[in-house]
Structure 1
Amino acid sequence: MSNRIRPEIIGWGVVGLVILVGVVTIAVGLLTPVTFGWFAYRPLADATFNPVGDALLVSRTTVVGFIVIALGLIALAFLAGWRLARRRTTEL
């Protein structure tokens, strides 16, 4: 075995790093309070909308985190399938 780092190990490291970045991004997004306002028209009642219970508001940061994790998991599945397929071709 040579002293060079194999490209496969670098791939696994990059995928792990992408997933970790996604998790951190989601954590930051969920810890940031989400505020919004609706100024298109005057409300019909003097009631104030309070999104408790039924409404789930996520920030753009959280959505980006979910997208990054999804891409990382897709890359992880690709690397795992590539590794299994390569192992099977060497056994034949």
Structure 2
Amino acid sequence: MTFASVKRILLVAAIVAVVVGSVAAVVSAAQPMSFAWIAYAPLSREVFNPNSTHLIAAPTIYALTVVALGLIAAAFWAGLVVGERRSRD
């Protein structure tokens, strides 16, 4: 496998990750999300921690993580391309 094909695969993977992650984030963010507040939970023996609630659903967070990883891969690809051009000069 040549270096050019590795760069091409990295670029395609980055584009796919950004597109798929973006679509998944939009789809999961469009789903209705319900919130409930329970003032008394009998016999739970657990301490309520209000900081553990999320305003964004977990699938949306996962999709945005995929988008971020795709953008990082695209930035890495761009660095490889710029570095290769400078090494030729």
TM-score of the aligned structures, taking structure 2 as reference length: 0.72
After TM superposition, the structure 1 = structure 2 runs for residues 54-65 of structure 1, keeping only pairs within 5 Å, are 57-65=55-63
- Computing the radius of gyration over CA atoms, which structure comes out larger, 1 or 2? 1
* Shift >4 Å, 4+ stretches: none
Report what 2:84 is aligned to.
Answer: 86
Compute the displacement of 1:66 (Å): 1.2
Gaps of 5+ in 2: 42-53
Q: Which structure has the higher relative contact order (CA within 8 Å, separation 6+)?
A: 2
Gaps of 5+ in 1: 43-55
Question: What is the rounded CA distance, in whole Å, between the counterparts of 2:34 and 2:87 in structure 1?
Answer: 54
Compute the displacement of 1:89 (Å): 0.3
**Cα deviation 1:17-75 (Å, max 9, x = unaligned):** 01111101111111101112222428xxxxxxxxxxxxx93211111111111111111
Compute the displacement of 1:76 (Å): 0.8
TM-score of the aligned structures, taking structure 1 as reference length: 0.70
Aligned length: 74
* SS state at 2:32 partner: coil
Higher helix share: 2
TM-align CA RMSD: 2.0
Tell me the percent identity.
Answer: 34
Report what 1:68 is aligned to.
Answer: 66
* SS state at 1:39 partner: coil
* SS state at 2:34 partner: coil
